[in-house]
Copies of this chain bind each other. A is one copy, B any other.
């Protein structure tokens, strides 16, 4: 028996969506209605995942569902915003109800953990692709932009870098590797953990922030360019995932700095907020590393252990 778009919305998504979050009118009308609490600003971001580009067509739909929200949550974290609502635009080649249920289970496994309400969306027929628009809130004036880093601010990254890139390089055969893909790298590649709690923890302390989706070199570059500043980064301080450290130096930097999918945060902090920030991030249970300092000279400098400047040749992930 064929399943219509209305059945899909009712049985798969409406049934699994959580209520709450000041949703006045959710799935099922021409548009959703929500209340943004007084004193809060609305924060909005959109990301698209295309089959064959951002995930393998035969990937587990649970993982696709998880990932399609994770990349959006990472953008909320990078603004120090608390996620609240999302819309889902699904374009599907057919109405495979098993695929849809498993997709929805992956999506809601993450949505429910971070209390994100699905308030609407669209289902269309076409080549598989997923666009989620996420909306969150932040107390007025407390969002952390990428354009507001100041010279002298300390530069931090959360977590470890290069794990997802290592998993992808091994699985694609780009990198010769003895033994299986390290499980933590595979986990990170398949189900990246957006740093939502860390994002909330930097409110009022960090001066600028960005999430690392295209590699630290590219994304820190965006932050510095937007701020009109440069940086001195101590390469030896960068939290490179341990298995990566077995590779030669060029490869380490390629995977840890110039490839994507880390979904860690990189942010800058005025020195007088250093202690408070480290304490808060520690309470959020998030690994944190100080890797450098913002400079007035708008040229990022990557410094090796001998004090020499290193030229990074990778440019980060580009879509064209």
Contacts and interface: CB of A to CB of B under 8 A. Distances in A.
Interface of A: 2-5, 24-25, 28-36, 38, 41-54, 75-76, 78-79, 81, 85, 87-89, 91, 94-95, 119-127, 129, 131, 133-136, 138, 140, 143, 145-147, 209-211, 226, 318-320
B33 A36 contact: no
A75 B30 contact: yes
Contact of A5 (B4, B133, B320): B320
A47 B34 CA distance: 18
Contacts of A211: 30
Nearest to A50: B126
A138 to B, nearest CB: 7
Given A48-B131, A127-B129, A133-B87, A95 B24 contact: no
Interface of A is mostly: strand
27 contacts: A4-B320, A5-B318, A24-B41, A25-B143, A25-B145, A30-B45, A30-B209, A30-B211, A31-B44, A32-B44, A33-B42, A34-B41, A34-B42, A34-B44, A35-B42, A38-B38, A44-B87, A46-B87, A46-B122, A48-B89, A48-B122, A49-B124, A52-B126, A127-B129, A129-B129, A131-B131, A133-B133
Given A87-B133, A131-B131, A319 B33 contact: no
Residue among A24, A33, A75, A91 facing the most chain B CB atoms (10 A cut-off): A33
Contacts of A44: 31-34, 85, 87, 119-120, 133, 135
A195 B162 CA distance: 50
Contact of A95 (B48, B75, B136, B320): B320
Contact of A81 (B3, B31, B127): B31
Contact of A31 (B79, B127, B320): B79
A170 to B, nearest CB: 24
A232 B131 CA distance: 40
A134 B87 CA distance: 10
Given A2-B320, A135-B44, A126 B129 contact: yes
Contacts of A46: 87-89, 120-122, 131, 133
A50 B92 CA distance: 10
Contact of A319 (B123, B131, B133, B147): B123
Contact of A43 (B31, B47, B147, B210): B31
Contacts of A33: 41-44, 79, 138, 143
A126 B53 contact: yes
Given A44-B87, A46-B133, A127-B129, A318 B30 contact: no
B31 A125 contact: no
A195 to B, nearest CB: 12
Contacts of A95: 320
A123 to B, nearest CB: 6
